[in-house]
Amino acid sequence: GGSKVMKFGKSKAKLVSKESPQVTFADVAGADEAIEELEEIKDFLKEPAKFQAVGARIPKGVLLYGPPGTGKTLLARAVAGEANVPFYAISGSDFVEMFVGVGASRVRDLFSQAKENAPAIIFIDEIDAVGRHRGAGMGGGHDEREQTLNQLLVEMDGFDVKANVILIAATNRPDILDPALLRPGRFDRQIGVDAPDMLGRKRILEVHSKGKPMAEGVDLEVLARKTPGFTGADLANVLNEAALLTARSNAQLIDNRALDEAVDRVMAGPQRRTRVMRDKEKLITAYHEGGHALVATAMNFTDPVTKITILPRGRALGYTMVMPLEDRYSVTRNELLDQLAYAMGGRVAEEIIFHDPTSGASNDIEKATATARKMVTEFGMSSVVGPLKLGQGSGEVFLGRDMGHQRDYSERVAESVDREVRQLLEDAHDEAYEVLIKNRVILDELATALLEHETLDQTALAEIFANVEQLPARPQWL
d(CA 16, CA 88) in angstroms, rounded, equals 7
Question: Catalytic residue at 289?
Answer: yes
Q: Which residues contact 194 (CB under 8 A, 6 or more apart)?
A: 66, 67, 70, 311, 313
Tell me if 74 contacts ligand ADP by CB under 6 A.
yes
Decide if 246 contacts 262 (C-beta within 8 A): no
Q: What angle (nearest 5°) sits at the alpha carbon of residue 431, between those of residues 413 and 299? A: 110
Is residue 382 within 8 A of residue 420, CB to CB? The reply is yes
Q: How many CA atoms lie within 13 A of 143 on its CB side?
A: 4
Q: Does 31 bind ligand ADP (CB under 6 A)?
A: yes
Angle between helices 440-453 and 411-438 (to 10 degrees): 80
3-state class (DSSP) for residue 224: helix
Q: Which residue is nearest to ligand ADP (CB)?
A: 232
Nearest distance in Å: CB 119, ligand ADP: 22
Residue placing its CB nearer to ligand ADP in the complex, 195 or 343: 195
**# binding residues, ligand ADP (CB under 6 A):** 17
Could you tell me whether strands 305-309 and 455-457 are parallel, antiparallel, or unpaired per DSSP bridges? Answer: antiparallel
- Region of 24-32, 95-103, 107-115, 252-260 interacting with ligand ADP (CB under 6 A): 24-32
Least distance CB 223 / ligand ADP (angstroms): 15
81 binds ligand ADP (CB under 6 A): no
**Nearest-approach distance from CB 193 to ligand ADP, in angstroms:** 6
Nearer to ligand ADP, 207 or 460 (CB): 207
**Rounded CA separation 477/334 (Å):** 9
Looking only at the bridges linking them, the beta strands covering 397-398 and 455-457 are unpaired
**Which one of the spans 27-35, 326-334, 384-392, 452-460 is the region binding ligand ADP (CB under 6 A)?**
27-35
Rounded-to-integer distance, Cα 98 and Cα 118, Å: 26
Alpha-carbon span 162 to 182, nearest angstrom: 21
**For residues 180 and 130, is the Cβ–Cβ distance under 8 A?**
no
Contact 179/133 with Cβ under 8 angstroms?
yes
**Could you say whether residue 360 binds ligand ADP (CB under 6 A)?**
no
Choose among 223, 234, 224: nearest CA to 265.
Answer: 234
Strand partners, 190: 63
Site string for ligand ADP, 116-155 (x = CB under 6 A): ----------------------------------------
| Sign of the dihedral through C-alpha 77, 83, 84, 87 | negative
Residue of 170, 259, 372, 447 that binds ligand ADP (CB under 6 A): 170
Active-site residue, selected from the candidate residues 146, 155, 289, 420:
289
Least separation in angstroms between CB 77 and ligand ADP: 8
Pick the closer one to ligand ADP by CB: 207 or 321.
207
DSSP per-residue codes, 374-415: HHHHTS---TTT-S---SSSSS-EETTEEGGG---S-HHHHH
> 34 or 305, CB closer to ligand ADP?
34
195 binds ligand ADP (CB under 6 A): no
Q: Is 192 in the site for ligand ADP (CB under 6 A)?
A: no
Nearer to ligand ADP, 96 or 207 (CB): 207
Taking the complex as a whole, the smallest distance from the CB of residue 464 to ligand ADP amounts, in Å, to 29
Q: Min. distance of Cβ 170 from ligand ADP in angstroms?
A: 5
Interface segment toward ligand ADP; rule CB under 6 A; list 63-71, 111-119, 215-223, 389-397: 63-71
**Rule CB under 6 A: which of 218-237 touch ligand ADP?**
232-233, 236
* Residue among 13, 15, 16, 28 that touches ligand ADP (CB under 6 A): 28
Q: What is the spatial distance between Cα 285 and Cα 295, in angstroms, rounded to a whole number?
A: 15
Q: Closer to ligand ADP by CB, 65 or 287: give it.
A: 65
Cis peptide before 119 (omega within 30 of 0): yes
Per rule CB under 6 A, is residue 209 in the interface with ligand ADP? no
C-alpha torsion 110→114→115→116, nearest 10: 110
Q: Which stretch binds ligand ADP (CB under 6 A): 37-45, 71-79, 95-103, 156-164?
A: 71-79
Answer for which of 102, 195, 204, 446 binds ligand ADP (CB under 6 A) is 204
Q: Does 72 bind ligand ADP (CB under 6 A)?
A: yes
Q: Which is nearer to ligand ADP, 73 or 382 (CB)?
A: 73
Window 286-315: contact mask with ligand ADP (x via CB under 6 A):
------------------------------
x-or-dash string of contact with ligand ADP, 233-272, rule CB under 6 A: x--x------------------------------------
Rounded distance between C-alpha atoms, residue 293 and residue 109, angstroms: 52
Number of H helices, E strands in the chain: 17, 12
> CB under 6 A: which stretch of 23-31, 275-283, 301-309, 392-400 binds ligand ADP?
23-31
Binding site for ligand ADP (CB under 6 A): 28-31, 68-74, 170, 204, 207, 232-233, 236
Residues identified as active-site:
289
